[in-house]
Structure 1
Amino acid sequence: MYLNSTLFAQIAVFIVLALFTMKFVWPPIAKVLDERAAKIAEGLAAAEQSRNALKSAEKRSAETVRAGQEKVAELLLQAENQSQRIIEAAKAQAQIEAEKIILGAKAEIEQEALRAREALRERVADLAVAGAEKILRREINAGIHADLLAQIRRDF
């Protein structure tokens, strides 16, 4: 009999302890567990937001890099075009300068030719006068005249 009463007493103590635990001990433990679960959920949400922000930042940085590469390519193309324009302008300027130099050289050659012709004319005139003088100094004779003209031609 003692066994039954002990069993009933233990069951009663267990029920009282279970009610006491459910009423006073379990709610703070559940509250702490709920708070911890909420913190874990917040941490997971923050991690997810961070992951999304990282993906977004990676996309923006990739876009920025691509835009930068496009800008560099565009600047290189512009620089190449500008260098081609400068080269073409320099070629055109050099052609103009060459034409000016050629025209100047032609004009100088023409002036030199005119001077040579003028000097030649003077020389021919001097020779003609000298020949005329020699002819007039001697008597008029066809053989002597022919000799004198041949001598003038040799001198010339």
Structure 2
Amino acid sequence: MNINATLFIQMIVFAILVWFTMKFVWPPITKALDERAQKIADGLAAADKAKAELSNANARVESELAQSRNETASRLADAERRANGIVDEAKARATEEGNKIIAAAKAEAEQQAVKAREALREQVAALAVKGAEQILRKEVNAGVHADLLSRLKTEL
């Protein structure tokens, strides 16, 4: 065979191979590459969308955390104010009750002092009568001299 004829036949076979490849092999490969590129683009778009949603969610979380911190701080301040009010109220009640107890104790002490004075007056009157009896060396009748004793009590 002639080299030119071989070369010509190889060119025809190559042309048929190129045509066959372009007609049947190349479109599925191109389609698969296009689908792959589309999937990659969709994945990148979804990743960007997810990143944006994540940043929005983080912003919302930070906002809600700040709000809950503010609410917590205000509730703590309210609780502290209420506790201080309760403590102040309890102190006022304790002071008032203490004052009542002191007043009652003073009144009781005053009553006991009055009773003690009365008892002392009676004892002094009895001692005065005894002293007068011993001085006069005669018996003194308490029933007769009750007026004298009552004046002596009032003077003491």
TM-score (norm 1): 0.71
Residue number in structure 2 paired with 1:82: 82
Residue number in structure 2 paired with 1:37: 37
CA distance in 1, matches of 2:38, 2:127: 130
Residue number in structure 1 paired with 2:64: 64
The one-letter code sitting in structure 1 at the alignment partner of 2:126 is D
* Equivalent runs, 1:79-118 vs 2, <5 Å: 79-118=79-118
Residue number in structure 1 paired with 2:47: 47
Instruction: Please give the per-residue CA displacement for 1:57-87, whole angstroms capped at 9, x wherever unaligned.
Output: 3223323332332233223212221221121
CA distance in 2, matches of 1:7, 1:70: 88
Higher normalized contact order (CA 8 Å, seq sep 6+, divided by chain length) = 2
Kindly tell me the number of residue pairs found equivalent between the two proteins.
Answer: 139
Task: Report sequence identity in percent.
Answer: 53
CA distance in 2, matches of 1:83, 1:47: 52
**Unaligned stretches of 5+ residues in structure 2:** 139-155
Residues 7-16 or 50-59, more deviating: 7-16
TM-score (norm 2): 0.71
Cα offset, 1:115, TM superposition: 0.7
Residue number in structure 2 paired with 1:125: 125
CA distance in 1, matches of 2:105, 2:95: 15
CA distance in 1, matches of 2:24, 2:130: 155
**Unaligned stretches of 5+ residues in structure 1:** 139-155
